[in-house]
Structure 1
Amino acid sequence: MIKFGIQRMEMVIIVIIYFLIGFISSLVGAMAGLGGGVIIKPVLDFAGHYDLATIGVLSAATVFAMSSVSLIKSGNLEVSVNVKVSSLIAVGSIAGGLIGKWVFNYFVVSLDVDSIIGVVQSIILALILMLILIYFRWSHFFKSYVLKNSLAILLAGLGLGFLSAFLGIGGGPLNVAVLALLFSMNGKEAVINSTFIIFFSQLSALFLVAFTSGYTDLDLSMLGYMIAGGVIGGFIGSSLLYRISEKVVSIVFTVTVFIVMVINIYNVFQYL
């Protein structure tokens, strides 16, 4: 009886932890346009409970739930989605996401080299986050653009989608940086448009898994709790976005990216 009680308590603690991972990641993601996946992926790597394929699905589903709620809530904001730019990037990111997920599945599922891909993912993500921090810290030294060529916008989306799907992060910080650099969007504009792009990229990633490797071999016992956390976190985060200033959005973005970069550097050594 005592053993059963201890096991039940351990299960309750595990459920709370995974709910909080979904909640906190989505809360911060909705506030800063990070999507949440860039936090969920390295945190689940750090926890070490799941393989890379399972982590990818847990992350994608949670981020999709968060982005859905955030887009519904964004109707209260004065900032709107740039439909042309974000739609073209979304289309490109879906195509790039399919390619990136195929490459990921090939190495992880077909070749079964989880540990090697885990190291590669963590190194690439840490480097990308470092470059993003440098860009936003010294953005006044960089010239921003306003791309209007449809092909160029599609190609930008293709690159974003490939990296996001291969790294399993949803694309948030990459989206925000590209939207600021190539389309001269301010913080809140980049957040809303990034969330719009994330919605479609994660939806395509979930469909791809469904029609390729499937979900039957994955341990998704924590999925419902993470999605619940993602919905609540997305709702609160998008509500806060309506109230906070551009400066606060920038601070949340920078601090979160720095913390996630440090976790990824640690994960590199954990995989080795």
Structure 2
Amino acid sequence: MIPARAVLLDLDGTLVDPAGGITGGILHALLANGIAHPGDDHLASLVGPPLASGLMTIPGMTEALLPHVIADYRQEYAAHGMAASRVYPGIAELLAGLRADGRILAVATSKPEPLARQLLAAKGLDGYFDSIHGSSPDEVSAPNRTTGKPHIVAAALEATGQGPEATVMVGDRMHDIEGARANALQSIGVAWGFAADGELEAAGAAAVVHSPAELGGLLGIGRGHSASVHGAVRDGIA
């Protein structure tokens, strides 16, 4: 088990299924700015990392076009994408169980913080969290593009009032695992998000779970099932 006192959680792909709201919105913005469809796999890979850095990997994207694409995407997401998003089954029960057990909960997402707060409120999840942390609304500038997720995880960790040894990061992409490692945190990967096969293990996740119930069991609540633990003997976590 990893019975951490504080739990940091990613948002899209971990708590909420974007249900095409992100990839569809990005594609809409790309086409509106004359950039060809990069392929479904490339679009899916953009869920998780900072948006600006992800967009710059798309053929045809330029620094001059970037702010226009982001603005068009955000407009489309606000109009349609947020409503399309769905809370993953079992997540509300997991969060309620963690709160009842006295855990400190925080969101650490690459989504702009005001938008993250709006999405969590719209889906009825905001009340579970002690704090919510995301990127600056200015997604084109540093540190959003230069430091990625570590500075967001650092802010969430500081807000918990706990040390790294008492805190764990939970997310669905390698960026979550890398952000945890940069802050000396253990991390748990969730298999229901957007990671490619083997991505979370290769990034160094201490464990990969396949359901919210399994995650709850690993965190020491409920009746979760055994997780696929990587490096458990080495790290002394099992």
Higher RCO (CA-CA < 8 Å; seq separation 6+): 1
- Select the structure that is richer in strand: 2
Whether the TM-score (by the shorter chain) exceeds 0.5 is no
Q: Which has the larger radius of gyration?
A: 1
Report the TM-score when normalising by structure 1.
0.29
Report the TM-score when normalising by structure 2.
0.32
